[in-house]
Structure 1
Amino acid sequence: MRKIIVLILLFTSLNSIGQKSELNISIDERIETLYSVAFLNDYFLINEHENLYKKEIRENLQSLKNHKAIQLFDSLSKNYNFSYFRTVEWVLQFSDFPKFKKIKEKVDNYETVPKAKKNLLENFRKELIKFNQDTLFQSYLSEIKPINQKVISQVKESETISELPTYLEKFYGKKLNSYNLILSPLLHSGGFNSEIINQNGEKEVYALIGPNGEIDFMPYFDKNYLETDLILHEFGHSFVNPLMEKHDKEIESLKSKYFTEKLEKYAKYQGYSEWKFVFNELLLRATTIKIAEKNFGKEKANELLEYEKSIGFGLVENILEILKEYDQNRNKYTDFYKFYPTLIERMK
């Protein structure tokens, strides 16, 4: 009996390894409620493209511009660092509206806002529920529902988007528990990575992406922009970030050699100030280029590299040279975790 149980467990394990990881694609009401508040607050991370969502908000939700949820968001974002990925990471910990009750935890130990201001965050949660349940906003959600479906359908038309988890897993030699792509029509032309621990103790990984354009006022997520770069980059954080935390001392030892005044200036312009985060971002951009090269061709990889060099991230090219050793020795380095110490040594 014991042998049978062992064999069943082994078969289940082997079967799960062979299973193709699924990419879940959605537009999330929690994120859209938050970003509707942000839009009415003239938040700096709203995208610059005109679209039907913005038109609906301007025409029908102006009376909500003085809502307390917007006042609290203004205070939290401007005074207490409630911005960038912290806002969406916070929202993803809660159940759907109308309850919007905390049911999950974020992975890291960083405070979303200072402990002394947690009461403001709780007040904001309550006001966000009221904002979501307002009759005008519910009408807005009904109006945009068919638009949401069209946006999602446009992205799903691609035959390769479902292959992205496989591309990531082959390169990094690891699997993630889940791949959740959230399209956000109001988000800036870029994205965030978020990791949330669910009620079962499992890590849920999210990539939140904003459109890079519009066609006939419909938010447009260009395949070239979405698949060959941004999704690979955002999910890539979940493979690379744990290594940054594990090897932070070794990364620090590279600072005097690489973190020049020039690189520091360019990095700050991109939103990174601390060396370990700058290094992590440079590495992630290099691995993204490698994955793009393997699956979309050399021309695309060169295009991505030229962009990195144009924004002052020329060090990416040096890292790409070192990554050739990883490519050529996958029998030795079965996953990126095993190669990481070698990468650090080569950079020294």
Structure 2
Amino acid sequence: MKKTILPILLLISIISFGQKSNLNITIDKKIETIYSIAFLDNYFLVSNHDNLYKSKLRKKLDALKNHKAVVLFDTLSKKHGFNFYKVTDWALQFGKFPELNKVREVAEPYSFVETDSEYLLKNFKKEFISFNQDSLFQEYLTEIKPLNEKIINQVKESKSIQELPTYLERYYGTKLGSYNLILSPLVHSGGFNAEFIEDGKKEVYAIIGPNGEIEHIPYFEKEFLEMDLILHEFGHSFVNPLTEKYHNDIENLKEKYYTENLKRIGENEGYSKWTNVFNELLIRATTIRITEKNFGTEKAKELLDYEKSIGFSLVENIVEILKEYEKNRKKYPNFNKFYPILIERMK
């Protein structure tokens, strides 16, 4: 029976979604530039791993430590909240150097509290271009080009990485405009999700840092990259809009689930509000289910055991509820249809 159902579901998936979605894998010059500036400023979200990029930056760009771009970045990040995803969102809205024209809109624009922040950002953009065009930095970019190509080729060797958009679309039952993986040798061991609107379509990005190094070359371990991060980060683009839509219903679950212990654990993971904690628990649960379906029970169990070890035991409850969605895809053709049912089951 299972052997008959699987091809049928696959055929339905192909008919429903048409052409297979590709994963674009790059190392982006805008991210390289802004994180080189961040490195010179000792920014707290630069990778802890020592590597050839850092060695070359120390050797070649010491003279740029006092560049206006570094000084402005320091002020913006420490006094105006220009950090975490805001840094990568800001850089990726632009096209190529040196024009750096705005080519896409951030799906959910953020605002700064300080009134002079926008003025500082305009000045920073000018200095950002100036830093990128500096002959010392251009020399550095030329020197690391073979390293960049080596890292991209290593990641592309995976037989499953180009299947990840299909795994996501098949599970959530919807399709996005494009999927973009940006590898960043200087970003911390983790990453950011970014969403943009271009030509009316939602483009999603995962900006990922290495989780190690081999012979001083940044290394992106396959399972860490594909399951722990890419499936998770892109998952936000499918789940976040639904969490916003059902915000009030999720708030009604707060009294039942948001204990002081879960609040403390959530804050340790960087989530200060119940809705954010719930959203994160759900994405971790869907990631586990997608992983089991495409990478096997053992890896899914590893992910679940990790969540339980950090105190996110509620993930296991959600995993069990998701099995109802998976068994009734005719009734729930996409995750949008099942989301309110999931909330009801949690009540």
Q: Deviations over 1:292-324 (max 9, x none)?
A: 000011110010011111222111111111111
Aligned-partner Cα distance in 2 for 1:113–1:104: 23
Q: Deviations over 1:132-176 (max 9, x none)?
A: 111110000000001000000000011111000010011001111
Q: Does 1:129 align with 2:129?
A: yes
Contact 1:86/1:112, CA 8 A, preserved across alignment: no
Letter in 2 for 1:75: T
Aligned to 1:333: 332
**Structure 1: 5+ residue runs without aligned partners?**
1-13
Q: Deviations over 1:258-303 (max 9, x none)?
A: 1111111111111110111111011000000000000011110010
Contact 1:25/1:152, CA 8 A, preserved across alignment: yes
Q: Does 1:220 align with 2:219?
A: yes
Letter in 2 for 1:156: K
Aligned-partner Cα distance in 1 for 2:171–2:301: 18
Aligned to 1:247: 246
Aligned-partner Cα distance in 1 for 2:334–2:232: 18
Structure 1 residue 116: Cα displacement: 3.8
Aligned to 1:65: 65
Aligned-partner Cα distance in 1 for 2:60–2:250: 51
Aligned to 1:297: 296
Letter in 1 for 2:227: T
Q: Does 1:21 align with 2:33?
A: no
Q: CA RMSD in A?
A: 1.3
Which stretch shifts more, 112-121 or 56-65? 112-121
Q: Deviations over 1:171-228 (max 9, x none)?
A: 0011111000000000011111101112x23221101111111111111011111112
Aligned to 1:196: 196
Aligned to 2:3: none
Q: TM-score, normalised by structure 1?
A: 0.93
Q: Deviations over 1:13-72 (max 9, x none)?
A: x97832110110000000010000011111111111111100100111011111111111
Aligned to 2:283: 284
Aligned to 1:11: none
**Structure 2: 5+ residue runs without aligned partners?**
1-13
Structure 1 residue 235: Cα displacement: 0.6
**Identity in percent:** 64
User: For residues 226-237 of structure 1, what are the structure 2 equivalents within 5 Å?
Assistant: 226-237=225-236
Aligned to 1:6: none
Structure 1 residue 112: Cα displacement: 5.3
Aligned-partner Cα distance in 2 for 1:112–1:205: 23
Aligned to 1:5: none
Contact 1:229/1:292, CA 8 A, preserved across alignment: no
Q: Does 1:163 align with 2:154?
A: no
SS in 2 for 1:277: helix
Letter in 2 for 1:207: A
Letter in 1 for 2:91: V
SS in 2 for 1:99: coil
Contact 1:82/1:113, CA 8 A, preserved across alignment: no
Structure 1 residue 327: Cα displacement: 1.2
SS in 2 for 1:25: strand
Contact 2:196/2:204, CA 8 A, preserved across alignment: yes
Aligned-partner Cα distance in 1 for 2:319–2:214: 36
SS in 2 for 1:185: coil
SS in 2 for 1:36: helix
Aligned-partner Cα distance in 2 for 1:114–1:256: 34
Aligned to 1:185: 185
Aligned-partner Cα distance in 1 for 2:219–2:238: 28
Contact 2:176/2:201, CA 8 A, preserved across alignment: no
Pair 1:112–1:203, CA change in 2 (3 A):
farther
Structure 1 residue 114: Cα displacement: 4.1
Structure 1 residue 252: Cα displacement: 0.9
Letter in 1 for 2:264: K
Aligned to 2:92: 92
Structure 1 residue 102: Cα displacement: 2.0
Aligned to 1:10: none
Aligned-partner Cα distance in 2 for 1:327–1:217: 43
Aligned to 1:143: 143
Aligned-partner Cα distance in 1 for 2:192–2:174: 21
Aligned to 1:49: 49
Contact 1:187/1:210, CA 8 A, preserved across alignment: yes
Structure 1 residue 103: Cα displacement: 2.5
Which stretch shifts more, 311-320 or 163-172? 311-320
Aligned-partner Cα distance in 2 for 1:273–1:37: 29
Contact 2:93/2:103, CA 8 A, preserved across alignment: yes
Aligned to 2:10: none
